[in-house]
A and B are shown apart, each in its own frame.
Chain A
Amino acid sequence: DIVMTQSPDFLPVSLGERATINCKSSQSVLYTSNSKNYLAWYQHKPGQPPKLLIYWASTRESGVPDRFSGSGSGTDFTLTINSLQAEDVAVYYCQQYKTTPHSFGQGTKLEIK
């Protein structure tokens, strides 16, 4: 199984500043047939279902603000949130969907400093 490890677990950031969350997979999630990294990022707020932000490691889902961006390839990935807004407070998860089980990271709780 592919193990996903996020860092940090908790991230306090001031409003308007940048938040950076890292995700590392125990094996590459690059699907060589189409050169896509099968890595997604989700935002999860209390009382709501998770929301897909980023797929293929760096492609924003339709309707997601452009302050959210993803980068990385192979085994190392980053979610960056520029100019943090109050509504960005949530738990963020990475997930690999290259190989079943489609494992999630343990989550990063983003808070306002």
Chain B
Amino acid sequence: QVQLQESGPGLVKPSETLSLTCTVSGGSVSSNYWTWIRQSPGKGLEWIGHVYYTGSTNYNPSLKSRVTISVDTSKNQFSLSLNSVTAADSAIYYCARLHNWNYYYYGLNVWGQGTTVTVSS
């Protein structure tokens, strides 16, 4: 079955760029939408954005000026880049798959375990 695994630095300095990668195993990134979600300490889930395998993206307007999500079909991975980070960007970051087929969408049915990112000097 499809599995996702986030990777990247656990500590990022303020004003720098947070970069995470999600590796897809047991399936191909060349279908479905690939999503990033985060959960700040003590808060709920926040949808960051997603990328289709074609490279088409949608972002949360609250982060749009700072975020880039991309897909690399050759590596079966997709990535998140968030620039100019502050302490407010400290969170658990999850990657997930929005399952879709033939114009039907089924929800986020596969998730990575999550990776904790702390923004601190």
Contact = CB atoms under 8 A, between A and B. Distances in A.
Contacts of A32: none
B41 interface: no
Contact of B47 (A48, A91, A102): A102
Contacts of B61: 1, 101
Interface string A41-63: 01010001111101110000100
Main SS at interface, chain A: loop
B109 A104 contact: no
A103 B44 contact: no
Interface string A77-113: 0000000000000010101010011111111000000
Contacts of B111: 49-51
Interface residues of B, number: 27
A36 B108 contact: no
A44 B113 CA distance: 12
B112 A34 contact: no
Interface string B96-121: 10100001111111011110000000
A40 B47 CA distance: 14
B87 to A, nearest CB: 21
B109 A105 contact: no
- Give the interface residue-count category, chain A: 20 to 34
Contact of B44 (A52, A101, A105): A105
Contacts of B49: 100-101
B98 A49 contact: no
Nearest to B98: A97
B73 to A, nearest CB: 22
Interface in B38-77: 44-47, 49-50, 58-62
5 smallest CB-CB distances across A and B, nearest first, come from A49-B111, A40-B107, A55-B107, A100-B58, A101-B60
Interface of B: 35, 37, 44-47, 49-50, 58-62, 94, 96, 98, 103-109, 111-114
Interface of A: 1, 33-34, 36, 38, 40, 42, 44, 48-52, 54-56, 61, 91, 93, 95, 97, 100-107
